[in-house]
Structure 1
Amino acid sequence: MKIKQAIDRIPGGLMLVPLFLGALCHTLSPGAGKYFGSFTNGLITGTVPILAVWFFCMGAAIDIRATGTVLKKSGTLVVTKVAVAWVVAIIASNLLPGGSIQTGFFAGLSTLALIAAMDMTNGGLYASIMQQYGSKEEAGAFVLMSIESGPLVTMLIMGGAGIASFEPRLFVGAVLPFLVGFALGNLDHELRDLFGRATHTMIPFFAFALGNTIDLMVITKTGLLGITLGVSVIFITGIPLMLADKFIGGGNGTAGLAASSTAGAAVTNPLIIAEMLPEFKPVAQAGTALVATSVIVTSILVPMLTAWWAGHMKSKENDTQDAVA
């Protein structure tokens, strides 16, 4: 059977197919992990440790001579993504009465849901796409995207003194595996080769674990509003990201478009924020469903759009070269 070839025909398929298999598993049998226990439960629920190992290997695979490029690209994408979400938060806080909408088509939409959907990039999806359509340095730009993980950036964007405790040690914890891998890979090129080969292999494993946090039924619960939010995330964050990638990051916009997704980890942010600030509990459930739908929608559309854009830019470059020749 040509399973690998079939997966490769799907844009970002190495990430997307296991993600939806995991989501299907969670939807049909949400207690499967606890039922089987042991290694099976670890595989189903091990998003963070699997990502940690993958992050270490990603660091080991990057040559120190590419560090400037990686940091420039990564920093550009992260800063742009957070800045756009911040602007959206400011606008939404002024337009949404009480921070949420209670009736009509947009019922359930809140400032919290908008921020959570837009301020985090699906780093695994990004790396998977860029390994297929970009360079190793562009794929390695995931390095700073881990800083977006968790509720910290969401809390900062929501702003206000006393709302969030922004501890530097959490940033250190987010990048430490990458830095250790980066150091070892550059101290010994054989270690770089050893760990570097694992970066591609581990993508389907953390994708499957991540999928097991998503219930496919959220689409029916949120309806067109959730789908609209997912499309809006790509449009609202994608255009600034593509422009920043082109004019600041030195790319052709492909990396920017690949970063315009909603991270799977963002699904937990509304409930985490609500636990810290009880006033957000009335909108937390709807926010969670909307963000989860946005994860699914962007996971489908971003790889397709990126594949089309990469092909368009390659064709444009070939036409230019032919004209010069």
Structure 2
Amino acid sequence: MLVPMLVGAVVHTAAPGSGEFFGSFTGALYTGLPAILAVFYICLGSTLDVKAAPYIAKKGGVLLGTKVVFALLVGIVLGRLLGESPVSGGAFAGLSTLAVVAALNDTNGGLYMSLMAQFGRKRDVGAYSVMSLESGPFLSMVTLGVAGLSAVPWQTLVGAILPLVLGMLLGNLDPEVRRFLAPAVPAIVPFLGLSLGLTLNLTAVWEAGLLGIGLGLFVVLAGGAALLLADKASGGDGIAGLAAATTAGNAAVVPSIVAAANPVYAPAAQSATVLIASSVVVTSILCPVITAVGARRILKQPPAGEEADEPTADGGRPSPGPQHAPGAAPAAATRRDGG
């Protein structure tokens, strides 16, 4: 998503009137973001299985609930300090409650699943089927309203989640529909990024600077700490919590949707989009490093003479691996499905 978004931003910065100049289908790329999103969420919803196993529902529910509650608490605090408008000057210029809430509320699903495939249980990968419910602006809109900020009309809230629900309905009623729509999800992402980029001005990206990096660090470190504790408290080992501490690329479209639904957020929308885009990059780089380090500490080989955990039927335990001699360094972390 990031490369097409950068291309679109370069075009818009260099020739901001090109959409109106060419019109037709080219111009539609500048203004068609809502339609592209609607198709994206229908296809994404078709991949969500409502018959997920209890473990998957529990794991995904814990991670999803933690992200939502943490974003809500942060939103309440920032809402009291900043309100709906962005900071107008100083080192934090452009920072807004909208930017932080949207960055916290959406997980990079591809990154989460790839990290859990390497370091986690097989069934932990499936937990994202529940976490995908956070995709889109719905939860961010609800969070802003619950935090005491300007609420979004209920019709808009329902409209924001209807495409996802429709996709879930189609995918669960007919597996053939799911197999047909699911491959379109990654294919739509570049067009989503391009259309979003065509609304951005790169001068705002330069202004984001260290603030965007700081937002990404907050998502990984503070959000990751909350997810780690929640995962362990629910009986997990914490690795899934670390892997979920990211910002998804499609979170960058949330500010523009929220601003369209409630104009009071319009002044914060562009700077929030840029900050979130920065958070996407920072979390994509740091989260794998932190997850790998955490997994190696959690999945250390037991000392010689101690019996390793037996693998379960679904590969839910670490593979025994070779024992090391007393005093030797423990082996590196391995996948718990024996990979």
Q: Same fold (TM over 0.5)?
A: yes
Equivalent of 2:241 in 253, 269, 288: 253
RMSD, aligned CA: 4.0
Q: Is 1:80–1:240's contact at 8 Å kept on the other side of the alignment?
A: yes
Look up the match of 1:298. Answer: 279
Q: Secondary structure in 1 aligned to 2:102? A: coil
Q: Secondary structure in 2 aligned to 1:190? A: helix
Amino acid paired to 2:185: T
Q: Secondary structure in 2 aligned to 1:63? A: coil
Cα deviations across residues 84-125 of structure 1 (Å, max 9, x unaligned)? 34433454467679x98776544x36xxx4421221248887
Judged with a 3 Å threshold, the aligned counterparts in structure 2 of structure 1 residues 30 and 68 are, in CA distance, closer, same or farther, namely farther
Instruction: Report the number of matched residues.
Output: 296
Structure with the larger helix share: 1
Q: Is 2:246–2:283's contact at 8 Å kept on the other side of the alignment?
A: yes
Equivalent of 1:172 in 158, 168, 180: 158
1: CA distance, partners of 2:146 / 2:244? 23
Look up the match of 1:34. Answer: 20
Offset, 1:154:
2.1
Judged with a 3 Å threshold, the aligned counterparts in structure 2 of structure 1 residues 191 and 31 are, in CA distance, closer, same or farther, namely same
Q: Is 1:77–1:256's contact at 8 Å kept on the other side of the alignment?
A: yes
Q: Is 2:245–2:287's contact at 8 Å kept on the other side of the alignment?
A: yes
Look up the match of 1:12. Answer: none
Look up the match of 2:289. Answer: 308
Indicate yes or no: 2:144 matched with 1:154: yes
1: CA distance, partners of 2:200 / 2:235? 33
Judged with a 3 Å threshold, the aligned counterparts in structure 2 of structure 1 residues 137 and 229 are, in CA distance, closer, same or farther, namely closer
What is the percentage of aligned positions where both structures have the same residue? 28
2: CA distance, partners of 1:144 / 1:181? 14
Look up the match of 1:187. Answer: 173
Offset, 1:152:
4.9
Cα deviations across residues 37-76 of structure 1 (Å, max 9, x unaligned)? 2222223432222222121112222334327667655654
Amino acid paired to 1:321: S
What are the ranges of 5 or more consecutive residues in structure 1 without an aligned counterpart?
A: 1-14
Q: Is 1:60–1:196's contact at 8 Å kept on the other side of the alignment?
A: yes
Query: Of the two, which has the highest radius of gyration?
Result: 2
Q: Is 2:109–2:248's contact at 8 Å kept on the other side of the alignment?
A: no
Offset, 1:298:
0.8
Q: Is 1:238–1:256's contact at 8 Å kept on the other side of the alignment?
A: yes
1: CA distance, partners of 2:43 / 2:263? 34
Q: Is 1:20–1:208's contact at 8 Å kept on the other side of the alignment?
A: yes
Offset, 1:245:
4.7
